[in-house]
Structure 1
Amino acid sequence: MAVLQAFGNTWWGQNWLDALRGIDYSNRLPRGKSYARNGHVVNIQIKGNVVNARVQGTRRTPYRETVSLNPFTQKQKKIILDVITGNPLYLSRLLMKELPDDLYEEFESRKIRLFPESWHDLNASCSCPDWAVPCKHLAAVIYMIANEIDRNPFLIFELHGLDILEELRQAGYEIGTKQTSQIKSLKQVLENSAEEVEQKDASLPVSDEILNRFDFSKIPFLRDELLNLLTGRPLLNITEDFKTVLKKAYIKIGKSTEKFLENGLVFLFGKRPENVIPLFVEKEFSGNVEEIEVIDLTMLNDYISFRGELKSAQNRFEFDQNQIKPLFQFLNQIPSKRIKNFPRQIVLYYLTYNFALSLLKQGAFVPELFLIAENTYRIRWIPALLNPIVKEIFDNLKEILPPDTVKIGSANKKTAFKTVYPQKDEQLLLLISIFLDYLIAGFCRDLLLENQIRRLFFNRVVFSAENFEDQQIPETIHLWLSRFFISHKNIVPVLKISDMKKGFQVEIFVENKEKPLEEPFPLKDVFTQDRHSVIKMQVLKDLSLLSDFFPHIRSVIASRGTSALVIPPDQFSDIFFNILPIIKLLGIQVLLPKGLQELIYPKLSLLMAKKSTPVSTISYLTLDEMLSFEWKIALGDQTFSAMEFLKMVRGMSGIVRIKDRFVWIHEEEIDRILQQLKKQKPLTSRDLLKVGLEESYNGSKILISD
């Protein structure tokens, strides 16, 4: 069953649509919504505060629409900018394309109306002969604008003649372009590439010591953790919840990878459904794997196409984006037990291929948006490098990668383009993404349908953001996926937790990875020192993202890093157990007091000691006469009676300091231990013998005293 496109998917998009509330001339609004859904709005352009549109009606020539709002006065503009720049939290949320409701309320309190309260607040006209205002053509335009306001709340300010980002640039804020602020691009890759690299002998073997570093079984299962980092219902394809689609894809990819490992290439290159366009042209590798000496690979500068050769002294086997099967066949035929006898470059390909399969099986891969050319994007799949184990394997692969493994060449022979070699990181990502992209495309064929967002993610196609309704989608995708890539940046936040008398203090610092010998600097320096002005917007974006998981830090952001955040012990437990693990998963460093790294949990323990009374005959039947025992509550290697323990923790809750150690005190857990203590029966000689052999009793640790 088809899902109808919704309009006004955020509260601010809905506020825009509220201008239509209470207006309905002969059912024109539903018909306008239908026009918007069915593509009748053929063109929209915004110039200043005026929207010019074309809507295809019943006549051959589209009707001309004009919609505008009254521009803000200079006084109103100043108030708006002062409010936004006066509270970094507001600016950080806006940079993440969210309109804070408290910012809206502050504007309302100052008599600044962002949204039209009724249709009469809009200046609108249509060239159609319909007497009603709004007609269905104008209504269609209003609905289309609502979805763009959903994705980009800056648009509502632009419709009032205020370009906030441009005003901030003029005020000295370092802000990237609207669409490509931090999206990785081919231009960046080429700028960091070299026309010549040191030619290393790719035929040299790889030592056993290096090969032994590659244990792909250590890659943890990351699917659920990674998906939990993403927000639900991103505004990509508003006819469906794309996070749900992505989850289905991850599950399918994991299961398909297991079948692929069991059944081999036939699972990927076998018979396809008739209605699915073939992904591969059937070309075979028919050589001897041990004769192949070199693999030549050129990624073309459309960043979709590539060409390569498997070279031996006698033969050459070509492959490309349409004929990838020879490469897969070759790698599948390499005997793992003899891999160390192959040239270094072949070993790299073999390990990278198996690394890619392990990533897919464990759900340890993520999508990355890549800017190929102006308004042209693609999704490529790469390792989840925010996980330290995945990153370690990636770095080990990079160590054995010859610097001329992957080069970038021209996709158009008529265009002058010098072949260049990207940095080793990018070469390895290119190679891994080729494997991941093709395997994912093969495994997700039944998820494609006629859906441009699904095809972008799962079918190696480019996305063109030329049309009005598509222009905000790349930035929306980038912001949605940015949680996977905070740790990839050179400037990253650092959280420091300190123990205070009244709880735990949380401070925010900023680290420059390009200067590893320098200490992280306080957040307040970002706002007070001119030398940090260039990173201010990036830091605010990342902190806004962190605040989605750790809302407590919003007060620190709003204060420009000057206010102290102290969290009581009973509230800190939730942060320690539920929030900090997510922050660490993002790749953000969390500095903890030494004791917190080894948190102690109260446990029931049995203290045993020798009796002073001598016993004449040694037998397990008389162990109860030789030994005394007492049930205690242990905090690490220290034990306390129930009365001592209860007296010590009275009034405490959460993570607290006891005798220079951090202990987790939870009322339900303490009650459970005390109930266990009441149920304990005297130990028999047999019990004591068992205790002595196993050094535990019913899961409780045994402590032996002299």
Structure 2
Amino acid sequence: MMAKHFGKTWWGSEWLQSLQHIDYENRIPRGARYARNGYVRSVSIDHGAISAKVDGSRPTPYRVAVKVKAFTDKEKEALIDDILEHPAIVSELLCHRLSPAVSDIAKSKNIKVFPTSWRDLGMDCDCPDWAVPCKHIAAVIYMVGKEIDNNPFLIFELHGVDILAELERRGIKALQDSKVEVPGWSEAMEIDKPSSVKGKDAPATLPQFDFSTIVPLGDTMRKLLPIEPPFWSEGDFMALYSENASRAAKVAKAMLQGKRSVADCFELTTNKPESINAADPSLVVNKRHEPSIKFGKQTTSRSVPDLMRQLEALPTAEVRNSSNATYAFHTCFTLALHLAAKGNVVPIICADPQKGYDITWAPFMGDAQTAEILRQADTLFAKGDIRVGGVTAPGTPRHPAWFATAIFLTTIARATAKPFTKISKVHDMFYKGGLYHYDGMGEQAVPISIKSWADHLRAPQSRHTPLLTLREDGVDSDRFLLDAYVVDKQKYGDPISLRSVFSDEAYKTTRYAILKELSSLAGMLPVLDDYLAREAREPIAMSGDGMIRFLMDTAPALRLLNIQVALPKSLQNLIRPLPSIALSTKPNDGKTFLRLDQLLQFDWKVAIGDDLVSPNEFERMVGKAGQLIRFKQQYVYVSADDLKRIEKAMAARNEMTPARMLQAALSGEYKTAHVNLSPEVCELLKRWTTLQEIGVPKEIRATPRPYQIRGYEWMYQNMRLGFGSVLADDMGLGKTLQVIMLLQKLANEGLLAQKRALVVAPTGLLANWEAELEKFAPMMTVFLYHGAERKTTHFDHHVMLTSYGTLRSDVEKIKKMKWAAIVIDEAQNIKNSATSQSKAVKAIKADIRIAMSGTPVENRLSEYWSVMDFANKGYLGSLKAFNEEFAKPIQQSGDKACAERFKKITAPMMMRRLKTDKRIIDDLPEKIQQDEYAMLTPRQAALYTQVLEESMKVIEGVDENDKGALFKRQGLVLQMVLALKQICNHPTQYLKNGVMDASLSGKTEMLLDIVSSIYDSGEKALIFTQYTEMGDMLRHFIAETTGAMPMFLHGGCSIKQRKEMVDRFQGDRSNRILILSLKAAGTGLNLTAATHVIHYDLWWNPAVEAQATDRAYRIGQKQNVMVHRLITHDTFEERINDMINEKRALADMTVAVGESWIGKLSNKELRELFA
């Protein structure tokens, strides 16, 4: 019981030795209990006199006095002089450790440093108990022992000796660096005063972060820490520390894997989460170091878990398109989860003179990737994103990303710690938070003791850095020799041997500073104590298990502290065996067509460096795990985990499917195994990835750009090899034309004679497909299977066009038809593989499968799996396996290596070119204009026909030859034009009935599809409309679709509002859509952040359209601009557009008179135009 609370160090135990052999009726254990239970009210020490008050049975506490005999001057001088004869002992003192050799030296001089019995202490208590020591005296001695545990120098102070001062008086110069002080909170957290805070420029290029390369260091870090810290008296602190680290890691891993949410693990202050898209978050920390969150200009504070919930809910595709502040906090939160999951977290104790001490959990900076992520994330924070210390003059952290990450880590550590039933200020400071005072006896040295303990996780900041060198003890020996050197960071030159430090007078002034650094490592490498005691005259011999522990445990831990460990050449690249796969081709007579993946076979090997051996050879060579094996001038180390990994890989032979083999061949790796390819496999891959020129079909009425020809040839080659294709080119690069060329090629080769081609697209794009096929491949016959009256009776065409909804409804009928090819446009419509729509699409059997999508693959990998599963069934395995192997590492950890492997295995079957690609941009015009055709919905078509007939009836009732009625007739015509335009926009705009349903308008649905693709690509768009009312409706529909309310610049906006909107659109990534009324978007607006311009309703005035488009396409625009002109198919909008395109004279006229020319048309011309 006593050892649990008191005497945790050898010096503390020696102090209590005086109580060990006496007892009067169980008084000593009762004294220990008094000490543990807080009966000692107060203790003061004045040199060797200890005065205390201890609660007892009477109302007032008993007074206790304990006197320790002071050393004489002669004893003091003799002891210090003898200690100075042993530099190793001095170095331990400078590390705040007391060597047992000090006690031996004192005994040899007949000097009692520690009392050997109670008679060595003068003791008195005013209690009525006759025994000495009584339980009250015993309690005081125990409490002093607890203080000595934390401060070994106190034992000398009780004898009237300030040992550090004595050493300094004798010329020991390393004392200043040896003093341990707990820093203030502002110092530890590096908080700058308001006057010195400077705003930072936002990065020109948004950084991307790879969290997967953060090395898991938690286990190694714990090896740096002393296992029995003297500040803890409630059992095994390292067991508690390790268990709580494991609990935090378990929760963090579960959150990263999506298995647990913030709401599952943390206490939230509100059930109504703020929209992180609506207001940027900021972090506020008050004077008691308590953090809170503010959203925008709101006065209500939220908790850190509230912010964590919002960051967690942010879709992966939206993260990089959010504001700098949101992206910054998201980065720090994600980093905190990864650091907690890997145990790379350190406690920092801080002091406040009035408020007390507290502990913050912070990132461990010994990992280079962590440091680099924090450095880049710092640039994302702006002045005001983090405010510390007060409302009137808040400070700002010098390293905001580190600070924010520490706040998240502290929140995680406190929320996940195991409940602790005992009362302990130390535990609560570590795991509950708050400010604590340590004023009582046995407590005063606790903060310094915690600081000393935690400092073992900090790299030395001194001038001299230790260097440990290991060498072989002879060529044939299995023994190694370890020596210590130091590197002087202020001088260039060879390392200094420790032997020279001891013996050479040149190091007299720096000797103890150097030895202190070596002595501080003895906790990890205990043999250093003897090595230093021998003054480094002989190297440390290592072999067997001790050598393996040094290589596998000690050396990695030392490197975390930036301490160099030099190894012999034979150990510099310690070989670890790895499973390996040898891929070759199967024998094939060439008579049977086989897909490439069906031509491969494999065999397991074990890679030992550059050598491959069979599993049997490896087993004979290794024998057993846990030993160093010499192998060709190098060493192989085989751990039990290595053997398990190899056995597990080889036991999974059945998992190696043809698809897996092909992936292994393409990526050069399989799970943890390296892949070796035979020359025949290399030749197969080369033939597959080299495109053959096949020529554009002569029937195509277009001049395809070079990259479009490459896309067409790639799809054709995949088809010939038996693979489907995913064409994922950026919006505006002409995916439709590439597919039409392929369909024409199939028709030319007779593949569409017995079987047909099925094209599935969103309803809003069917008219577009119909128009594009007619325009680019007029020789192909097209059948539109859509609408209430749809029938397949007359289907005898090359191509059938249908919508996803129609296919879902009629899947059984369409399944029975024979298809040579199926093409799905906007393939993200099957992103959820569990929906009936996805199942219907995948149920269609076809020889060739093509998927088209402009959505960036990396944004939604789990959705991409469904698309690839359509194009190449089973290639990426099950969805669950795909998520674990690719989606989670890439999206949640930014794993670049995994992303590169994914790119390699999908590259032959998926093609994605961007408008910004160097190979593409030269082929493109600077401004791409595209007419996009939307279909009227059934209700829209009925309303259009009704209004047209009613209006024409009124117009035809006016005599068109009556000049007096001409003005009235023109007015009626323009009124009809306005009504029909409004119906084409959205029926609600005409009816004024307030029904806000996007599905009522084909044009609105088309717009939302385009906007969604723009959002997914992280681009920006301007949307022009003639009508303020329509602009308001579009705001509502876009907000419903994207979750973010777009801005609307119209005639009612003030100059200030206009400027604010332009600035936000130009400078804030999260504002991606700006709606403008044509009249308000005149001259003077520079909106070059937009790469898309959408004309929702047309004026049929090229000059007006050009002026609007030029808001984005003007000086300063560095990207290609795509112009979308939305036109309602089979309405007057399409006919007028055709007329303007075909008749230049009419186009010129519209520049001058706008739409007024329509009013002058005859009744017959009106019927032809509008019917």
Question: Can you list the C-alpha shifts for 1:208-233, whole angstroms capped at 9, x where unaligned?
Answer: 6x21xx22233344443333333333
User: Which residue of structure 2 aligns with residue 305 of structure 1?
Assistant: 290
1: CA distance, partners of 2:272 / 2:204? 28
Q: Secondary structure at the match of 2:301?
A: strand
Q: CA deviation at 1:338?
A: 2.3
1: CA distance, partners of 2:35 / 2:565? 48
User: Which residue of structure 1 aligns with residue 403 of structure 2?
Assistant: 430
User: Which residue of structure 2 aligns with residue 274 of structure 1?
Assistant: none
Q: CA deviation at 1:54?
A: 0.9
Instruction: Choose from 454, 457, 472 the match for 2:427.
Output: 454
Q: CA deviation at 1:387?
A: 3.2
Matches within 5 A, 1:146-295: 146-174=145-173, 181=180, 183-186=182-185, 188-189=187-188, 193=192, 195-201=195-201, 204=202, 207=205, 210-211=207-208, 214-260=209-255, 261-269=258-266, 281-282=269-270, 284-286=272-274, 288-293=275-280, 295=281
**In the alignment, residue 565 of structure 1 is paired with which amino acid?**
P
**1:175–1:181 contact (8 Å) kept in structure 2:** no
**2:189–2:403 contact (8 Å) kept in structure 1:** no
User: Which residue of structure 2 aligns with residue 341 of structure 1?
Assistant: 321
User: Which residue of structure 2 aligns with residue 380 of structure 1?
Assistant: 360
User: Which residue of structure 2 aligns with residue 316 of structure 1?
Assistant: 298
User: Which residue of structure 1 aligns with residue 555 of structure 2?
Assistant: 580
**2:356–2:436 contact (8 Å) kept in structure 1:** yes
2: CA distance, partners of 1:5 / 1:576? 34
User: Which residue of structure 2 aligns with residue 481 of structure 1?
Assistant: 454
Q: CA deviation at 1:109?
A: 1.9
Q: Does 1:549 align with 2:544?
A: no
Q: CA deviation at 1:242?
A: 1.5
2: CA distance, partners of 1:385 / 1:23? 51
2: CA distance, partners of 1:553 / 1:665? 25
2: CA distance, partners of 1:6 / 1:469? 11
**2:244–2:418 contact (8 Å) kept in structure 1:** no
**In the alignment, residue 410 of structure 1 is paired with which amino acid?**
G
2: CA distance, partners of 1:437 / 1:191? 17
Q: CA deviation at 1:264?
A: 2.0
Question: Can you list the C-alpha shifts for 1:62-86, whole angstroms capped at 9, x where unaligned?
Answer: 1211111211111211122223333
**In the alignment, residue 309 of structure 1 is paired with which amino acid?**
K
Q: Secondary structure at the match of 1:90?
A: helix
Q: Secondary structure at the match of 2:565?
A: strand
* Bigger mean CA offset, 516-525 vs 470-479: 516-525
How many pairs does the alignment contain? 601
**2:397–2:403 contact (8 Å) kept in structure 1:** no
1: CA distance, partners of 2:327 / 2:521? 40
Question: Can you list the C-alpha shifts for 1:25-80, whole angstroms capped at 9, x where unaligned?
Answer: 33322332222222111111111111111111222221211111211111211122
User: Which residue of structure 1 aligns with residue 333 of structure 2?
Assistant: 353
Change (3 A) 1:127 1:236: same
**1:45–1:51 contact (8 Å) kept in structure 2:** yes
Q: Secondary structure at the match of 2:231?
A: coil
Q: CA deviation at 1:378?
A: 1.3
Percentage of identical aligned residues: 28
2: CA distance, partners of 1:120 / 1:556? 38
Q: Secondary structure at the match of 1:463?
A: coil
**Which structure has more RCO (C-alpha within 8 Å, separation ≥ 6)?**
1
**1:13–1:147 contact (8 Å) kept in structure 2:** yes
**In the alignment, residue 547 of structure 1 is paired with which amino acid?**
A
**In the alignment, residue 200 of structure 1 is paired with which amino acid?**
K
Q: Secondary structure at the match of 1:549?
A: coil
Instruction: Choose from 345, 360, 363 the match for 1:365.
Output: 345
Q: CA deviation at 1:547?
A: 1.6
Question: Can you list the C-alpha shifts for 1:599-657, whole angstroms capped at 9, x where unaligned?
Answer: 46999xxxxxxxxxxxxxxxxxxxxxxxxxxxxxx998899xxxxxxxxxxxxxx9899
**1:319–1:325 contact (8 Å) kept in structure 2:** no
1: CA distance, partners of 2:425 / 2:435? 9
Change (3 A) 1:281 1:572: closer
**2:168–2:175 contact (8 Å) kept in structure 1:** no
2: CA distance, partners of 1:635 / 1:480? 40
Change (3 A) 1:174 1:489: closer
Q: Secondary structure at the match of 2:346?
A: strand
2: CA distance, partners of 1:440 / 1:132? 49
* Bigger mean CA offset, 158-167 vs 443-452: 443-452
Question: Can you list the C-alpha shifts for 1:152-177, whole angstroms capped at 9, x where unaligned?
Answer: 22222222111112222333445668
Q: Does 1:592 align with 2:592?
A: no
User: Which residue of structure 2 aligns with residue 470 of structure 1?
Assistant: 443
Q: Which is greater in Rg? A: 2
2: CA distance, partners of 1:432 / 1:396? 13
1: CA distance, partners of 2:375 / 2:190? 22
Q: Secondary structure at the match of 1:547?
A: coil
* Bigger mean CA offset, 486-495 vs 327-336: 486-495
Q: CA deviation at 1:19?
A: 1.7
Question: Can you list the C-alpha shifts for 1:306-357, whole angstroms capped at 9, x where unaligned?
Answer: 454322xxx536436xx33442233223222122222333211111111111
**1:284–1:326 contact (8 Å) kept in structure 2:** no
2: CA distance, partners of 1:403 / 1:567? 56
2: CA distance, partners of 1:557 / 1:407? 49
User: Which residue of structure 2 aligns with residue 69 of structure 1?
Assistant: 68
Q: CA deviation at 1:441?
A: 1.8
TM (norm. structure 2) is 0.46
Change (3 A) 1:112 1:464: same
Q: CA deviation at 1:146?
A: 2.0
1: CA distance, partners of 2:444 / 2:254? 39
TM (norm. structure 1) is 0.73
2: CA distance, partners of 1:579 / 1:596? 15
Q: CA deviation at 1:141?
A: 1.1
**1:298–1:408 contact (8 Å) kept in structure 2:** yes
1: CA distance, partners of 2:481 / 2:135? 57
Q: CA deviation at 1:432?
A: 0.9
**1:283–1:325 contact (8 Å) kept in structure 2:** no
* Bigger mean CA offset, 50-59 vs 215-224: 215-224
Q: CA deviation at 1:107?
A: 2.0
**1:36–1:141 contact (8 Å) kept in structure 2:** yes
**1:193–1:421 contact (8 Å) kept in structure 2:** yes
**In the alignment, residue 230 of structure 2 is paired with which amino acid?**
L
Change (3 A) 1:531 1:544: closer
User: Which residue of structure 1 aligns with residue 19 of structure 2?
Assistant: 20
Q: Secondary structure at the match of 1:546?
A: coil
User: Which residue of structure 2 aligns with residue 684 of structure 1?
Assistant: none
Q: CA deviation at 1:487?
A: 5.6
* Bigger mean CA offset, 31-40 vs 91-100: 91-100
Question: Can you list the C-alpha shifts for 1:77-133, whole angstroms capped at 9, x where unaligned?
Answer: 112222333323223333444432233222212222222222222111112233222
**1:498–1:506 contact (8 Å) kept in structure 2:** yes
Q: Secondary structure at the match of 1:548?
A: coil
1: CA distance, partners of 2:610 / 2:259? 47
**1:375–1:466 contact (8 Å) kept in structure 2:** no
**1:3–1:239 contact (8 Å) kept in structure 2:** no
Q: Secondary structure at the match of 2:101?
A: helix
**2:71–2:161 contact (8 Å) kept in structure 1:** yes
**In the alignment, residue 576 of structure 1 is paired with which amino acid?**
L
**In the alignment, residue 526 of structure 2 is paired with which amino acid?**
P
